[in-house]
Structure 1
Amino acid sequence: MTSDRPLLLNNARLVDPASGREERGGVLVQDGVIKDVGSHVAVAADAEVVDCSGQVLAPGLIDMRAFIGEPGAAHRETLKSAGEAAAAGGVTTIVSMPDTNPVLDDPAIIDFVLRRARDNCIVNIRPAAALTKGLKGEEMAEIGLLREAGAVAFTDGARSVTNAQVMRRALTYARDFDALILHHVEDPDLVAQGVMNEGEFAARLGLPGIPREAETVMLERDMRLVRLTGGRYHAAMISCGDSAEIVSAAKARGLPVTCGVSINNLALNENDIGDYRTFLKLSPPLRHEDDRQAMIEALNDGTLDVIVSDHNPQDVETKRLPFAEAENGAVGLETLLSAALRLVHSGQVSLPRLLRALSTRPAEILGFPGGRLQRGAPADLIVFDPDAPYVLDKRQLKSLSKNTPFDEARLEGQVTITMVAGRIVFDRRNGSRDSNV
């Protein structure tokens, strides 16, 4: 339970991407919400005071794309372990993907996940339901019933809906229910046997490539279907400059379109695969450095709306294989913020712009009340030192799976405190303070 006693986070560098606020001050929290915020908030009678020591205090991160093994693959990740990893990385809300066993295509399964998360997870879990039954891409799922059960969006997760008629019908129904479609834009026929970005580097490694057109052809089709139906659409992850141009043109036409990018495609490029590092086998694949720079530019000009972790835990049996045979995916909840801060330290992206893509825009797109430092907003907050250096040791990750692309990487920026609904669930100074899990 949240304490009746107010909590004052004081002596902080406030960064609110929703309002543009950036100043020294504090945040007063009571009953799970922000009661006051600003430079004038320095003392409060009867409040428990936490000295932030000049560190950044910002809204908690909202990750719009994370795969969690439970139900069905709890050996890869449970709701509990995912929550612990998220809290350590400053993620206060996870949108979980429906790629589970059973698939999240039934209201009863959505209800199960919500109840299970409530009892076992220290951060907010908001499930996205399957767009098609069984993720087969053939028959649309019950969007209305699933939305009523608590689904916040609809997606086939790591699969694309290749049938244009099914996608048209889904967008039409989504429009009528004001539901959001999240789509993985990758044409499987063009991907074929490809395992990394098509180009000179793939040729040197002797690996079959995936052309950018596998992404752009599917994305272009979807833009036309959005124009036809008027349904709300979010491209889950784009990875190349051509895709950014397609989304930018759609937005210029006034279409209800948004898009995301994986932190991996912002922080890494195909060269990082090096000597066949399977932890960097991803979907979409890591692209050429020119495409990575195009993604950064798209983030700065507003074409890219959100940054996601694309957290996808895989065990050693699926990753300790030849590159072409290994599964796609990397864990990312715990390293999302640190990896993203590379762009700030390099001077390519401002901190407010970065936090907007990690928190405010996801909240706006999904209709969540968080993502802002304002009175009445949920007290889902993080305190972090953007300059704290460390070398990542995958053995120290809280995720059950250790397939991080940043193993042994030098990173800067560590979360000190994570708060969910006014309760401190992670405190690097003292360990987790949550007593209900």
Structure 2
Amino acid sequence: MSILLENGLVYQAGQLQLLDILITADRITAIGKDLAQLGIKVQRKIDLAGKLVAPGLVDVHVHYREPGFTYKETIKTGSQAAAHGGFTTVCAMPNLDPVPDNAAQLQDVQERNANDGIVHIKQYASITQKRQGEQLTDFKALKKAGAFAFSDDGSGIQTAGTMYLAMKRAAECDMPLVEHIEDNSLLFGGVMNAGQRAEELNLPGMLGLSESSQLARDLLLAKQTGVHYHACHLSTKESVALIRWAKLQKINVTCEVAPHHLLLADADIPKDDPFYKMNPPLRSKKDQQALIDGLLDGTIDMIATDHAPHSAEEKEGSMCQASFGITGSETAFALLYTRFVKTGIFKLEQLLDWMSARPAQEFRIKDAGMILPGRKADLAVFDLKNEFELRKEDYLSKGTNTPFTGTKAYGATEITFVDGKIVYQKED
């Protein structure tokens, strides 16, 4: 089937231009102006009337909970949520039950991803067996079985020796090692950032030192081993400074920041509300500004949602008992566009780069992140002109654990294409 997208504001090769796009089967076959004048036979025309056409967004950090925790999310609902947010490629973390820590378990999850997912799903394998931070997995066998990268996300590797050996193995396999940076000995039972707001709410605080101290260790180990080390969800100004230093030292490091750490600080937490409980927690205004600055100066490479759905019961009561985590797939682009692009802090081209081209480039994800003839037709169409409200009833994820529900925003997803097929279309 051939589809002609007409009059879209297309982000291509770093520029925004009014262009047409011809999709034939699963590929982009032509890009230009007035393609209809070429006499190409098409089965369907869609007039986009100046709406933004972006490369399908790429998220290197999501949690789909299947197998093991399908009451929180399934591959089907998680991928539907991704498509609703304009994401066409996502990378799913291995904190599952059973953990994909061997080839058989990894292949089982990959089959589920392929059968039930409506977007492209890359699957992480774990660094250690059962994600317990002790016995390393067989990296070579997992790479052969199709692992996207290695991570124990949700848990930091607590001993330097284990991390050093893991980095050596990942480097030998030419695979990224993706780390949830957290020294458990410095947590002290905290549930939100340690500081004035935690004291005001009478809640135990989490030290930023638990992140930055382990990051400092890891960066020195990465320098020694040469591994591609990727730091998840940076949250502190010290972490940004450490990454900046590491890049000056030519250490092979990349990193991500989550939308919620850009949008909120601990001072924005109105009360003891579990929807504001995530790990790492919302930090100070100074940390928040350091993350924004880190994106703008190139220290931080990309934005990743850390989409972490939970059941309603797990997000009730006090932060002290509730689960850590916030959803993000369905809200990320619109919130970031509204907060940062419409106010002139980010350029639209920068935001699209951080959410598509850069993650695809740094993780060598083929056929993603750019709109080019011959590439897969993975595209997202956004309405930048009309304001809309984030509503719980519109979410496709099982998880509704986000404090942003009720927020007015711009940048609603209109259509998402994966392999040339419409996998999400906004209802009129």
Same fold, TM exceeding 0.5? yes
1:36 alignment partner in structure 2: 30
Structure 1 residue 422 and structure 2 residue 417: aligned? no
- Given candidates 351, 373, 376, the residue that maps to 1:375 is 373
- Given candidates 396, 406, 409, the residue that maps to 2:407 is 409
* Counterparts of 1:319 and 1:96, CA distance in 2: 22
1:338 alignment partner in structure 2: 334
RMSD of equivalent CA atoms: 1.3
CA contact (8 A) 2:273 2:318 kept: no
Aligned to 2:136, the other structure's residue is in SS state: coil
* Counterparts of 1:424 and 1:64, CA distance in 2: 22
* Counterparts of 2:385 and 2:185, CA distance in 1: 44
**Deviation string, structure 1 residues 149-185 (Cα, Å, up to 9, x no partner):** 1111100011100111111111111111110011011
* Counterparts of 1:121 and 1:143, CA distance in 2: 25
* Counterparts of 2:273 and 2:234, CA distance in 1: 22
2:392 alignment partner in structure 1: 394
Aligned to 1:398, the other structure's residue is in SS state: coil
C-alpha displacement of 1:40: 5.9
C-alpha displacement of 1:242: 1.5
Aligned to 1:63, the other structure's residue is in SS state: strand
CA contact (8 A) 1:25 1:42 kept: no
C-alpha displacement of 1:429: 4.0
Aligned to 1:9, the other structure's residue is in SS state: strand
* Counterparts of 2:402 and 2:427, CA distance in 1: 24
CA contact (8 A) 1:23 1:38 kept: no
Structure 1 residue 362 and structure 2 residue 359: aligned? yes
Q: What letter matches 1:399 in structure 2?
A: S
* Counterparts of 1:42 and 1:243, CA distance in 2: 51
Aligned to 1:325, the other structure's residue is in SS state: coil
- Given candidates 223, 226, 229, the residue that maps to 2:225 is 229
Q: What letter matches 2:167 in structure 1?
A: L
- Given candidates 198, 203, 207, the residue that maps to 1:207 is 203
C-alpha displacement of 1:279: 0.8
Structure 1 residue 46 and structure 2 residue 46: aligned? no
**Mean Cα deviation higher: 27-36 or 126-135:** 27-36
Q: What letter matches 1:354 in structure 2?
A: L
Structure 1 residue 141 and structure 2 residue 174: aligned? no
* Counterparts of 1:49 and 1:335, CA distance in 2: 28
2:306 alignment partner in structure 1: 310
1:434 alignment partner in structure 2: none
- Given candidates 98, 103, 114, the residue that maps to 1:102 is 98
Q: 5 Å matches for 1:173-212? A: 173-212=169-208
Q: What letter matches 2:378 in structure 1?
A: D
CA contact (8 A) 1:23 1:39 kept: no
Structure 1 residue 21 and structure 2 residue 22: aligned? no
C-alpha displacement of 1:271: 2.3
CA contact (8 A) 1:394 1:404 kept: no
The TM-score, its normalising length taken from structure 2, stands at 0.96
Number of aligned residue pairs: give it: 424
The TM-score, its normalising length taken from structure 1, stands at 0.94
Residues 1:39 and 1:287: Cα distance change in structure 2 (over 3 Å): farther
**Deviation string, structure 1 residues 329-374 (Cα, Å, up to 9, x no partner):** 0111111111221211121111111111111111012211210011
Structure 1 residue 319 and structure 2 residue 329: aligned? no
Aligned to 2:384, the other structure's residue is in SS state: strand
1:353 alignment partner in structure 2: 350
* Counterparts of 1:413 and 1:22, CA distance in 2: 16
* Counterparts of 1:386 and 1:188, CA distance in 2: 42
* Counterparts of 1:271 and 1:390, CA distance in 2: 26
CA contact (8 A) 2:273 2:317 kept: no
Extract unaligned runs of 5+ from structure 1.
Answer: 431-437
C-alpha displacement of 1:384: 0.4
* Counterparts of 2:263 and 2:35, CA distance in 1: 36
Fraction of identical pairs, as percent: 35
Aligned to 2:107, the other structure's residue is in SS state: helix
